[in-house]
A = this chain, B = another copy of it.
Amino acid sequence: MNEIKIFSPATVANVSCGFDVLGFCLDSIGDEMVIRKTLEKGVKISKIEGADLPYETNKNVAGVAALAILEASNANFGVEIEIYKKIKPGSGIGSSSASASGVVFAINELLGKPFNKEQLTLFGMKGEAVASGVEHADNVAPGIFGGFTLVKSVNPLRIIGLPTPTELYATVIHPKIEIKTSEARAILPKQVNLSDAIKQWANVGSLVSGLYTSDYDLIADSLNDYIIEPFRSQLIPHFDKVKNAMMNAGALGCGISGSGPSIFSLSKGLGTANKVAKEINKIYSKTGIEFDIHVSKINTEGVRIVNSE
């Protein structure tokens, strides 16, 4: 294999109760990337479409992630990367991590798959750090593993793939405003009430249980965030209206995707997910703020090959 084209999906991190820990993978929105072996070693980014991102390897998420996996593998080749960006940077659905996950998945294929998914996540995290300053796996993990993931710990990295109930669909709205990650972090408290933390970990436990048993009612009951949402939702215009509309349309639950501004919901069945989309479209159409809406099944595969030669 000398060249591979992949689809690298958007992802939703945190999932209400699971701040810094849970994530899931979308299917209807993602970047495409072409990665081509070159005789010359090193990484060259030869094309970026759809976003204004740096071509310098060391400043580019995909570039840094590519270097990490190539160096670890002692590859006797280099790569040329084309990036076709569909996920808007700053949207809160894992734009930077899609670049990172995609490139490490692709290079692993070019290498003959020497690395497992946890190792690929580690390489991806090196790239993610370029965008966020922190090597976190919240979005890289669901991108690489697919489905729902629990990042049990980052150091050492331990990721648990969780089952995905078959009728689960996501609806995501991306209001096109900018929230700086630094601001979204600064707004969080250093300390939280023990009583709130207890409710939060009860919900994490019951959400995980609900995923194993496909108990949609329990999943619905678990999608509550007592800790982060009260702070970060202030940064997202019309958050409460959107949340109410999502719930009234029949969503199981909803919350902030990553650090926002995107808001996600989970629904049982495509019909409900589409209804949620329709209702939030009505709300945001009146705001004057540009937005995208994505309705998607949960992608249980993660990054996938489009074609290769």
Contacts and interface: CB of A to CB of B under 8 A. Distances in A.
Given A189-B194, A192-B192, A192-B197, A202 B17 contact: no
Interface of A: 17-22, 150-153, 158, 160, 162, 188-194, 197-209, 212, 218, 221-222, 227
Contact of A20 (B18, B191, B198): B198
Contacts of A20: 198, 202
Given A152-B206, A205-B205, A208-B209, A19 B198 contact: yes
Contact of A150 (B17, B22, B193, B206): B206
Nearest to A210: B160
Contacts of A150: 202, 205-206, 209
Contacts of A212: 208-209, 212
B18 A158 contact: no
A309 B162 CA distance: 47
A200 B19 CA distance: 11
A202 B205 CA distance: 9
Contacts of A221: 152, 158
A21 B202 contact: yes
